[in-house]
Chains A and B, each alone.
Chain A
Amino acid sequence: MNYGPLVFLAAFAALAASWFGFVLTPHLQIGHLQQTNTVPSGVSYPVARSGLAQQGLQVYRANGCAYCHSQQVAQTGTLFDLVLTNPGTNQASTVAAIQSINPRLSQPEVLEIIGKVPVHLLTMVSKSTAEAAAKTVNATGANAVPWIVPIGPDIQRGWGSRRTVAEDFLFDYPVLPGSQRIGPDLSNVGVRQPDPGWHLRHLYAPASVVPGSTMPPYPFLFEKKKVGRVPSPSALPLSGIATVEDGYEVIPKPEALALAEYLVSLQAYAPLFNAPLSVALGKPTSPTETNSISISGGDKAPSDISMP
């Protein structure tokens, strides 16, 4: 019996099925994505990166940054905080209502916190608990709003305030979400480190700004040259283990400037319909700790990176 047509059909079906699964379905699902609006403020999101940052994406790609850094924050669940935004005028009953929903607060404590709204009355509770508590407080004429708080290990590490969604990469080509996490996630590195100068020093000598960093240095993105009559204004202010001998200075090449600009532009924290969260009133919208958390040993690794 001739099995040729059967083998052909089987191979065709296998390839067709994977084409449907890996090409057609994603295209139907997210191929039509457009710029959207943040919720509830209605600000356009995302905004295209600046030209320099778009060049930086190509430097990021060329140097294989995505082999060690991901750009995707995962979210495992959503909890709620209850935030008092207006204590109302009926102080006595508001205090009683707040104490009934959070018995750990004493009366003087409640009186103190309702004087400085917005204040968190409950943290990390379920949706139903927050809504029931909001009802109790609002019945006294005060105004308390349940706030959406995305949770998950990545968010706990300070890598983002919500999960990453397809819109975050809308204007990027190619999309480099990465899969390895030898270094920290970079979805929001522009929020943690908004200074391009920091990124330049970090690229030149990572361990000089993050002690114990295991990231390799990228000295070829910089030019080390003799100081002319006047020191260059764009020379890196180096210190610690990264200093160069007297009479020399380190100037970032255009690639380094582009990459730093791209890293600063990595800010994916806007509240969206498909990734809802409540933006804190009068507080920074995202984690702002100075040092990104390294999951690869961090302080255990010796700072043995030799400088050029």
Chain B
Amino acid sequence: MSSGMRATGTRDTVVAEPKASRAPVPVWLFFLLFVLLFWAMYEFDRRGGWFHSQVYTPYRSLAELQRYQPATGGISLERGKVVYETVCALCHNTDGSGKPNQAPPLSGADWVVGSPDRLIRIPLAGLTGPIEVKGQTWNLAMPAMGAALSDDDLAAVLTYMRSAWGNQAEAITPDQVAAVRAALAGRMQPYTAAELQAIP
């Protein structure tokens, strides 16, 4: 210990080490620091989104982002496509061309682009017996595939059918589906083509 102290003292006398002198910090530096801090807090509040992983720039907080979500209840073609591909495409094919001895085509079929009231009844109650589609007669049975779908989903999938693959017909709304569902009132029998023709 004593030898160490001696060594330090010796070095001090030989080499003048640079020293930090005590000087007061200028006042303007504190002022600048506070201005910078205030600006940083302002920017953080404006753009930070409080570090939430879902909040990106034009939106300032999760609450604001939630107010900008698209209105639900409308018909979405994207949703209709998903429903079509899970429920209908197995028999009617993803491009609506149908499959021989399984299901008639939907693209360009009058039954699809024609009267909404007829079209909505087919998935809700099913269809059986001979039916003419695009000049060809089919004699098969379709179960009530749409009975378990919600009004929104059924409207979405029917709208998708009516607008995809070159079909061009007006959209079907959930209200129309709900009205037909109420009119059927638990009908268990599938429709026949002749019965559907009687509906406007």
Contact = CB atoms under 8 A, between A and B. Distances in A.
Interface stretch (B29-37, B63-71, B190-198): B63-71
A136 interface: no
B180 interface: no
Interface in B142-173: 163, 170-171, 173
Interface in A162-180: 163, 165-166
A276 B65 contact: yes
Interface stretch (A33-41, A259-267, A295-303): A33-41
Given A41-B82, A85-B171, A282-B163, A277 B70 contact: yes
Interface in A11-46: 25, 28-30, 32-33, 38-43
A43 B77 contact: no
Contacts of A29: 51-53
B109 interface: no
Contact of B53 (A33, A78, A150, A276): A33
Interface residues of B, number: 28
B181 interface: no
Contacts of A85: 74-75, 171, 173
A40 B58 contact: no
B56 interface: yes
A7 interface: no
A165 B65 CA distance: 14
Interface residues of A, number: 42
A148 B72 contact: no
Given A38-B78, A40-B79, A145-B74, A75 B69 contact: no
Interface string A185-228: 00000000000000000000000000000000000000000000
B167 to A, nearest CB: 10
Contacts of A38: 78
B interface, by DSSP: helix, strand, loop or mixed?
loop
B15 to A, nearest CB: 15
A281 B77 contact: yes
Given A117-B171, A271-B70, A274-B65, A279 B57 contact: no
Contact of A148 (B56, B68, B79): B68
A113 to B, nearest CB: 13
Interface string B55-93: 111110000010111111011111100100000000000
B171 A78 contact: no
Contacts of A43: 78, 82
Contact of B82 (A42, A147, A273): A42
A32 B52 CA distance: 12
A143 B72 CA distance: 12
A163 B72 contact: no
B136 interface: no
Interface in A68-87: 74-78, 85-86
Given A117-B171, A118-B171, A281-B75, A276 B55 contact: no
Contacts of B54: 273-274
Nearest to B170: A117
A275 B55 CA distance: 9
Interface of B: 51-59, 65, 67-72, 74-79, 82, 163, 170-171, 173, 175
Given A33-B53, A40-B79, A74-B57, 4 more contacts: A75-B57, A78-B59, A145-B74, A273-B54
The 7 closest A-B pairs by CB, nearest first: A41-B78, A274-B54, A41-B79, A145-B74, A278-B70, A145-B71, A29-B53
